[in-house]
Structure 1
Amino acid sequence: MSIGITDEQVELADSLRKWASSLSPIEAVRAAEGDVAADFAPIWAAIEEMGVHAIAVPEGDGGGGGTVLDQAVALEACAHELLPGGLLGAAIGSTLSREPGRHGVQLDDDGVIWDGGTAGRGTPAPGIDLSARHARGTGPGLADPAARRTAITFAAAEAAGVTRWCLETAVDYAGVREQFGQRIGSFQAIKHLCAQMLETAEAVTAAAWDAAAAATARDSGRAGEEQWAFAVDVALVTCFDGAVEVAKSCIQVLGGIGFTYEHDAHLYLRRALTLRALVGSADDAAERVTAAAVAGVRRRVDVDLEGRDAAVRPQARATAERIAALPAGEQRSALVDAGYLTPHWPPPYGLGADPATQIVIDQELGRAGVVRPDLVIAGWALPTILAHGTDAQRERFVRPSLLGELTWCQLFSEPGSGSDLASLRTRAVRVEGGWSLTGQKVWTSVAERADWGICLARTDPDVPQHKGITYFLVDMRAAGIEVRPLREITGEALFNEVFLDDVLVPDECVVAEPGDGWRLARTTLANERVAMAGTRLTKSVERAVELAASRDLGPVERVEIGRQVALATVCALLGVRTTLRALGGHGPGAESSVAKLLGVRSRQDSSELVVRLQGDALALLGPLGKESDDPLAADVWEQLNTRCLSIAGGTTQILRNVAAERILGLPR
């Protein structure tokens, strides 16, 4: 997905990509090779005529009257086509001066001039980026912090455009190029490389979008300078290294053709390398992110509900305050009665709330200090029952589960199937009044105390694997069930093996029809849960910030912490973008799929960093424990425990296969 989220921004980006492509930018870049004086005058004339460089200049001053975010959308689109001619420098200069002229832009104290232009001093040079001309001047550079942030904000938008082109080019090639009798996109190694490119591209896009959105919020008075500064440093840490890595991976996927001068891939790598060189040190930015986090700064994304909250906020606030005034033991039932525990579910169990209403309810419950209880596995079981179960099943299970009277576990994984659920071997045989289930399940959380389990079992062995599976609701107290705890690497036993030996499941506990299990296992409600990300970072990242505040760490450690803060912030931004897309009436984009992959990496890497920051004390550590009085013991427990995140719910490798096939469209 591109930076733009709203329909207007998406339309702007589409139209500008087509316009930029019509100018034959790559041909112009190649024709100007070696010509130091080339200024791409015809293309610049077209830019001036369109006013692309002055979108953020007020209309009264001759500009487009748009926002910094609108300008960023335009820059991303034009960078996607590698439009030459000084657009980036002109956009920076125009936005800073609020005049739609062509401006050379000095970035550094030693006078680096961006994109040539009439303000440039010194002799321009082609540089490694063949689509631009740069010179070194003697001026003070962009000494003003706001000016520097504007430059980095717009450069990040260009980095997003470069990244997107590289991803699309690699995927298109992998979808048609054949080797060993197959399209190379069907090879797992290529799938994983492209999926990793997607992860990086979405991170780059989210960080670039946020820098521009924060600038727009600052200009409108909805956010302060501090928030913009933080967003810009996160973008500096994320976008430019990311663009270079994706450009290199693009060439890798292309293989020999990608290494030729004839292919355009190297032109995009050159642009990415130049952008990274111009914006300054990512490590310095990471140190600033750490310092800001220690000072209490967290990214608080401004969301304009455009008045859609006005009709629902008074009632939401009154309801939240009423629930907050109740004793703690009565709040859960009050949330259920009000439909506020699961407002996105249909009545009578929720409100069928649209995205804006869900956000307002979240905001008001948070303001009132009301915390929703976690439904855990019930949050997966109940939507399936709501969507596909009978009225009797809904009546029997949904409300008691919402109230916490019933606890659920999930009986899906098996010793031989793991992520490959279609190969499960637990069998269900038709008997009088129901089905007899026999088999073994594994990695089952809370099975030792669950009342009910959702279980997949094979009811027809004579059809293709995914078609012969049925979805059962199993009474965990039934005869023939044995639960054995599995001790994990933390030393605790949170998982279990579950053995089913001729367990009777009556017909009324079959959801939908026999053979529908595979389809049901993938069910989510059409009206998905929408929520804004909180301002608090993940547990281990907050712990790393705490260590930065309390210990005399060196610059290397502070850079590492800043990079983890930036990654955790980007993960939250992916959720914000998904929410904003929902507010606009659109389904989830790639962000929602990428969020788990990046989120797992964030949690695993940050928990490992926290332990590493504490040196050799690890060697003398006593007993581990999640709630240990020894902070290091709790930190080590967290580090070990997060190893499961890249396995549970589908391994990282399987999820990359899924992302490559379902999002990028690579062949199976």
Structure 2
Amino acid sequence: MSVTLSAEQRQLGESLRQFAARHAPMADTRNAFDALAEGHLPAWWAELVANGFHAVHLPESDGGHGGGLLDVAAILEAAGTVSLPGPLLSTVTAGAVGLLADASPARAGYLGALAAGAPAAVVLAGQSSFTARRVDDHWSISGVSEVISGARSATLALICAGCDDGTELWAVVDTSRVTIQPVAGTDLLTDLATLTLDDYPAGSGAVLAGIDIERADYLAVGLAAAVCAGIATWCVEAATAHLRTREQFGVPIGTFQALQHQAAMLLVNAELACAAAWDALRAVTDTVEQHRMAAATAALVAITPCPDTVFDTLTMFGAIGFTWEHDLHLYWRRATSIAASIGPATDWARRLGELAAAGQRDFTVDLGGAEAEFRADVVATLDAAAALSNDGPGRQGDDAHFQTGPQRTLIAEAGLIAPQWPVPWGLNASPLQQLIIIEEFANRPDLVRPSLGIAEWILPSLVQAAPDALQQRLIPPTQRGELAWCQLFSEPGAGSDLASLTTRAVKVDGGWRINGHKIWTSCAQRADYGALLARTDPTAAKHRGIGYFIVDMRSDGIEVQPIVQATGSAEFNEVFLTNVFVPDEMLLGEPTEGWQLAIATMAQERTAISAYVENDRAVALRALAAAPGSGRGDAMRALGELDAYANAIRALGVRETIRLLDGQGFGASSSIAKVAMNVLLRRTFQATLATVGRLAMVANSEPAVVEPYLLSPAELIGGGTKEIQLNIIAQMILGLPRK
């Protein structure tokens, strides 16, 4: 859980945390509240400057360390985690905005002063009434700023002033020559003030040219988001430690499921905040529209929710968290102040909604010329496939990605349907090679990439544990789309708690006799085969004694009964098994070790469901946002909020991809993304219903509103309910105790 990805960047953050432990213990910070508010630098500021923490991102030619924005983000994130006092964020931001200027002696002098240790603040466009007029050989600037964090401690301020011709002037101001009006701030760890300029003379040596006012805004948001991600990280660490040690009724309160779920949601929100902050900072080299999308996402996912994240943490601590002596209120105050500093969240939602109505954030990973030979082979295969067509229906449904025929067969036999699988079923494709395949399919929008449907979750278990003959019999026709599958896991008394299943498999000559009742089985009415869990040893421990079977759905004793959903359709089924015979070769692995195969299947399912973020569920909102009318503004803002959350989930997925490309192991992203997708879907339908009004009274409206809403439980529950995923996160990732 970090804004940054590389080991070197994480080490930078750890260095700042160690620095804070030595030089800025919280007891000293508490004794310095008044001095900080008066603009006095912390006693250790010179030491911080000597370590270069404030200038990691500044060029070496100007006295900095030559790093990038993500390097300094590691510093800011750590500063947020330890509640480092002083004007670090304002100084770093003032330097980053200055870097946007054209190269000049003025820029070099300004950045050099910052690198040497001058604390600074920045007044962005729209944060003042500053105006500039040309007088002989200099500019004369007058006006008053809004409240600016770090303004009282700053020796330099980079300000934006409006000119008579509608352009902007960026100038470096010596704060000793302006009027500073201190203001009591919400954040007790830094100072707050307004700046008043009265015919302040700015010569050519103080003017920075080429700074884009939009880029400056978005850059400031990205850096502030890094601090907020650090605050969210602290919340997870502090709450988890408290839940492990605090006892009530003789047990750690971390065993209470409600608190486990709350802690798990803290982690989900912190991971999304880190991903959003990371994306906002890497977007500085993208187009300004893409940068705006990333910055708005960071504003709405990392910054604006941060006060509530701390508030949720406070409630987990109870009354102790509400005391002056507890450190929590310092994080709460800082989060509230930073959230206020970026302006109204509704403005950011509207900006993103306006862009989201026309396009999406581009999360393409630049692969350069890597794996040129592999790419050439993929190109040749897909070009050949594009010249063919499919002429048969799919067994799993009518969608184009289920169709069968020469085109699908060619793609399947080339190993491109599941390239990550081992040869001969796939290509043993590395994460990089998988990205190349995704790119090349995307380069051919008329070529539909075939889908395995539910089989995508099941076949990996066959690849792992089935005998060769069974693999040869089932995998190729499934990849060609000629076989359909279902998953026979859930039972009436064992939904998400699969280990409590009661379907029984009894050993008989040559195989097993299975009796039981499965429920919520998608596509059972069309399936040729099913993956089934059954208890093979009722005396074994709960998670032992379970077998993983492949069942021919045409076997005697199988009865499929449709379950009519709230929509009136019947995509789910009950399956009754009465003395169903399953041959020995259809048991995967050992008779009592099916649970581990089931876990792998469910992980595949969670990953697939979290990928649903690519499917647009806000179609009705987009239509309303694009149409004139009184509801357009509300729809635009709601759309922006939803797309921000979706963008953060996508950024989380891209980060996981980059981690894998870097050779790092799999993280916890599948469970986190599953929970985040659940939240996104609920928010999408809530916002849609709240915005479209009377259109939701119509069953078959255009655009559709009620039908997708009534279908939503299938996605919300599929792959394990949100609550089960929160249990997994709390216990397996955060390490909270089981009951």
TM-score range, shorter chain: over 0.9
| In structure 1, distance between residues paired with 2:180 and 2:323 | 33
The answer as to 2:117 corresponding to 1:105 is: no
The answer as to 2:14 corresponding to 1:14 is: yes
Native 8 Å contact 1:44 1:86 kept in 2: no
The structure-2 alpha-carbon separation of the partners of 1:501 and 1:525, relative to structure 1 and needing over 3 Å to count, comes to closer
SS in 2 for 1:129: coil
Native 8 Å contact 2:456 2:604 kept in 1: no
* Paired position in structure 2 for 1:637: 707
Deviations 1:482-541 (CA, angstroms, capped at 9, x unpaired): 10000001110000000011111111111111111112111269999999x999953222
- Per mean C-alpha deviation after superposition, the further-off stretch among 127-136 and 587-596 is 587-596
| In structure 2, distance between residues paired with 1:587 and 1:335 | 29
The answer as to 2:332 corresponding to 1:255 is: no
| In structure 1, distance between residues paired with 2:655 and 2:93 | 25
* Paired position in structure 2 for 1:241: 304
* Paired position in structure 2 for 1:301: 363
SS in 2 for 1:613: helix
Pick aligned residue for 2:422 from 323, 335, 346: 346
| In structure 2, distance between residues paired with 1:525 and 1:479 | 28
Deviations 1:135-159 (CA, angstroms, capped at 9, x unpaired): 112469x992222222111111111
| In structure 2, distance between residues paired with 1:126 and 1:42 | 21
Structure 2 counterpart of 1:246, one-letter code = T
Native 8 Å contact 1:177 1:183 kept in 2: yes
* Paired position in structure 2 for 1:229: 292
* Paired position in structure 1 for 2:254: 185
SS in 1 for 2:120: coil
State the number of aligned residues: 651
Pick aligned residue for 1:364 from 440, 443, 452: 440
Pick aligned residue for 1:124 from 177, 182, 192: 182
Structure 2 length-normalised TM: 0.84
* Paired position in structure 1 for 2:455: 378
SS in 1 for 2:408: helix
Native 8 Å contact 2:183 2:194 kept in 1: no
| In structure 1, distance between residues paired with 2:671 and 2:410 | 33
Native 8 Å contact 2:606 2:670 kept in 1: no
* Paired position in structure 2 for 1:96: 97
For 1:131-170, what aligned pairs fall within 5 Å after superposition? 131-138=189-196, 144-170=213-239
The structure-2 alpha-carbon separation of the partners of 1:341 and 1:492, relative to structure 1 and needing over 3 Å to count, comes to same
Native 8 Å contact 2:660 2:666 kept in 1: yes
The answer as to 2:638 corresponding to 1:575 is: no
Rg comparison, structure with higher value: 2
Q: CA deviation at 1:176?
A: 1.1
Deviations 1:635-660 (CA, angstroms, capped at 9, x unpaired): 21101101232222211111111111
The structure-2 alpha-carbon separation of the partners of 1:470 and 1:526, relative to structure 1 and needing over 3 Å to count, comes to closer
| In structure 2, distance between residues paired with 1:43 and 1:211 | 30
Structure 1 counterpart of 2:679, one-letter code = R
Pick aligned residue for 1:174 from 228, 243, 250: 243
The answer as to 2:664 corresponding to 1:586 is: yes
| In structure 2, distance between residues paired with 1:451 and 1:188 | 40
The answer as to 2:526 corresponding to 1:464 is: no
Structure 2 counterpart of 1:631, one-letter code = E
Q: CA deviation at 1:278?
A: 1.0
* Paired position in structure 1 for 2:471: 394
* Paired position in structure 2 for 1:427: 504
Native 8 Å contact 2:603 2:670 kept in 1: no
Native 8 Å contact 2:613 2:646 kept in 1: no
| In structure 1, distance between residues paired with 2:318 and 2:611 | 42
For 1:473-622, what aligned pairs fall within 5 Å after superposition? 473-523=550-600, 538-552=615-629, 553-619=631-697, 621-622=698-699
Q: CA deviation at 1:307?
A: 5.1
Native 8 Å contact 2:420 2:426 kept in 1: yes
Deviations 1:94-150 (CA, angstroms, capped at 9, x unpaired): 12224151312224234332213113552334522121011112469x992222222
The structure-2 alpha-carbon separation of the partners of 1:642 and 1:334, relative to structure 1 and needing over 3 Å to count, comes to same
The structure-2 alpha-carbon separation of the partners of 1:143 and 1:410, relative to structure 1 and needing over 3 Å to count, comes to closer
The answer as to 2:61 corresponding to 1:60 is: yes
Native 8 Å contact 1:29 1:130 kept in 2: no
Native 8 Å contact 1:383 1:525 kept in 2: no
The structure-2 alpha-carbon separation of the partners of 1:540 and 1:23, relative to structure 1 and needing over 3 Å to count, comes to same
* Paired position in structure 2 for 1:657: 727
The structure-2 alpha-carbon separation of the partners of 1:351 and 1:525, relative to structure 1 and needing over 3 Å to count, comes to farther
* Paired position in structure 2 for 1:115: 150
Native 8 Å contact 1:92 1:154 kept in 2: yes
| In structure 2, distance between residues paired with 1:449 and 1:580 | 38
The answer as to 2:346 corresponding to 1:283 is: yes
Q: CA deviation at 1:334?
A: 1.2
SS in 1 for 2:550: strand
User: Any gaps of 5 or more consecutive residues in structure 1?
Assistant: 625-629
SS in 2 for 1:500: strand
| In structure 1, distance between residues paired with 2:368 and 2:323 | 50
Structure 2 counterpart of 1:253, one-letter code = M
SS in 2 for 1:404: coil
| In structure 2, distance between residues paired with 1:26 and 1:17 | 12
Native 8 Å contact 2:381 2:411 kept in 1: no
The structure-2 alpha-carbon separation of the partners of 1:307 and 1:224, relative to structure 1 and needing over 3 Å to count, comes to same
- Per mean C-alpha deviation after superposition, the further-off stretch among 642-651 and 104-113 is 104-113
* Paired position in structure 1 for 2:396: none
The structure-2 alpha-carbon separation of the partners of 1:543 and 1:576, relative to structure 1 and needing over 3 Å to count, comes to farther
| In structure 2, distance between residues paired with 1:307 and 1:618 | 50
| In structure 1, distance between residues paired with 2:55 and 2:607 | 35
Deviations 1:43-66 (CA, angstroms, capped at 9, x unpaired): 321221122222222211221211
* Paired position in structure 2 for 1:627: none
- Per mean C-alpha deviation after superposition, the further-off stretch among 437-446 and 364-373 is 364-373
| In structure 2, distance between residues paired with 1:519 and 1:52 | 46
Structure 2 counterpart of 1:347, one-letter code = V
Structure 2 counterpart of 1:103, one-letter code = A
Native 8 Å contact 2:519 2:573 kept in 1: yes
The structure-2 alpha-carbon separation of the partners of 1:637 and 1:665, relative to structure 1 and needing over 3 Å to count, comes to same
* Paired position in structure 2 for 1:418: 495
| In structure 2, distance between residues paired with 1:537 and 1:468 | 38
User: Any gaps of 5 or more consecutive residues in structure 2?
Assistant: 100-110, 129-144, 158-174, 199-210, 391-404
Structure 1 length-normalised TM: 0.93
SS in 2 for 1:123: strand
| In structure 2, distance between residues paired with 1:445 and 1:137 | 64
| In structure 1, distance between residues paired with 2:479 and 2:529 | 14
- Per mean C-alpha deviation after superposition, the further-off stretch among 204-213 and 608-617 is 608-617
* Paired position in structure 2 for 1:50: 51
Q: CA deviation at 1:326?
A: 2.1
Q: CA deviation at 1:564?
A: 1.0
RMSD over aligned Cα, in angstroms?
2.4
| In structure 2, distance between residues paired with 1:537 and 1:464 | 40
The structure-2 alpha-carbon separation of the partners of 1:243 and 1:525, relative to structure 1 and needing over 3 Å to count, comes to closer
Q: CA deviation at 1:279?
A: 1.2
* Paired position in structure 1 for 2:278: 209
Native 8 Å contact 1:54 1:95 kept in 2: no
Native 8 Å contact 1:106 1:114 kept in 2: no
| In structure 2, distance between residues paired with 1:611 and 1:462 | 50
